[in-house]
Structure 1
Amino acid sequence: MPPPQRADARRNYARILAVAGEAVAAKGADASLDDIAKKAGVGPGTLYRHFPTRQHLLDAVFHDRIVRLRDEAARLLDEEPDPVTALAAWLRAFIRHLQQYRGLSDALKAIYDHEDQLMIESRDLLRWSVGELLGRARAAGRVRPDIDASDLLRLGHGAGMVCEPDAEGDARAERFVSLLVDGLTVRTATNP
């Protein structure tokens, strides 16, 4: 979807998208569009000009969140020198995403098949994200060579689906990340 041209329209788009992301995280894919428009400080007409249907808005929220995960992977690759620490940090972000947006991905999966362009692009962005981090850790000899990006995404997905988005779920997610990283890490004489 091409970005709007005028500065005020771009700001409205970004504000609607941010508010919609919060609303979907809090209330699921059925969050009220009128409430989203009000909280974003725009009228319903402005919301519908940018997002003609609920589906368009959900697609944009989902894509925005996947792009944020990709951007987090790129940031960690640039800023975190320890490849295992970077991988663990990204897994935490991925699991948080799954905790917050589980209803969104379920709603989109019900509409799209696995060959839909949005699903393909999202899958590819996630695979790139974890693949780059995993590849760096593997090249450093820090993680098992028999784990691939798909394995790690499935393990992270499972952890995210069983952790509620609350304090107890956050603690459980942290434990799962620790267990995942521990299971991935190669043991050496210098790294017991």
Structure 2
Amino acid sequence: MTTGQRADARRNYERILAVAKAEVAGQGSDASLERIARVAGVGSATVRRHFPSRYALLEAVSRAGVDALVEYADTLLDAGVPARDALLDWLREVVDHCITTRGLLAALSYVPQQGLVSDNSCFTSVRDAAAPLLARAQAEGAVADGTTTGDLLELVLGIVLATDGHPGRTVTAHRLFDITVAGISPSR
């Protein structure tokens, strides 16, 4: 939203965003843009003017969740938590946020038509927040060199996607995450 918008345009934006948050919370990332427009009391063209794509709307709806993940990464960096523990705690938080915040998984895993994940600002924000955690863990030898934040996020998002619809989804997702971290080979 542009800060120089007219007052009525700002009100429309805020009303559309509020309705979109409620719709995405209830229906997930496939929430109807037409229904959002109807409930917000605006035309679909107004919705598209503010949010030119479904992703733009999901990005705005998911911004608070993304910001919380970024803030948590910063908190862990400053908390004096061992590097490996900080990284794993943060990745578990990504799992939990994606499970409890409908639409966040879609916003983080969206690949623009150009095929560049770097064009996904939600993913980029979360990836960049993880970079210092990963770098510290790698410097301490707790994570293999060559592992990227993108790799870690894609694993986590895959786990969240794989557990969609499972009863006890959070428990299953955490179990799969722990298996991923430990590896499938028995300890020697």
Q: TM range, normalised to the smaller chain?
A: 0.5 to 0.7
CA distance in 2, matches of 1:26, 1:178: 29
Percent identical: 33
Show CA shifts across 1:69-91 (max 9, x none): 32322222223623222212221
Rounded to whole Å, the distance in 1 between the matches of 2:96 and 2:182 is 19
Contact kept in structure 1, 2:110 and 2:117, CA below 8 Å: no
Q: Distance in 2 between matches of 1:18 and 1:71?
A: 23
Alignment CA distance shift 1:43-1:19 (3 Å): closer
Q: Which residue of 2 aligns with 1:51?
A: 50
Query: Aligned with 1:145: secondary structure?
Result: coil
Alignment-derived partner of residue 176 in structure 2: 176
TM alignment of 1:11-160, pairs within 5 A: 17=17, 20-32=20-32, 43-44=41-42, 48=47, 51=50, 55=54, 56-79=56-79, 81-99=81-99, 100-101=102-103, 104-105=106-107, 108-109=110-111, 112-115=113-116, 118-119=119-120, 121-160=121-160
- Which deviations, in whole Å up to 9, do the C-alpha atoms of 1:125-168 show, x marking residues without a partner? 23212222111222233333342223212221221111126651
Compare 21-30 and 10-19 and name the one that shifted more: 10-19
TM-score by length of 1: 0.65
**Cα distance 1:92–1:113, how it changes in 2: closer, same or farther (>3 A)?**
same
Where does structure 1 lack aligned partners over 5 or more consecutive residues?
Answer: none
Residues 85/18 of structure 1: CA separation in 2 closer, same or farther (3 Å cut):
farther
Letter paired with 1:125: S
Quickly say closer, same or farther: Cα 1:122–1:33, change in 2 above 3 A.
closer
The alignment of Structure 1 onto Structure 2 pairs a total of residues equal to 180
Q: With the length of structure 2 as denominator, give the TM-score of the two structures.
A: 0.66
CA distance in 2, matches of 1:68, 1:181: 23
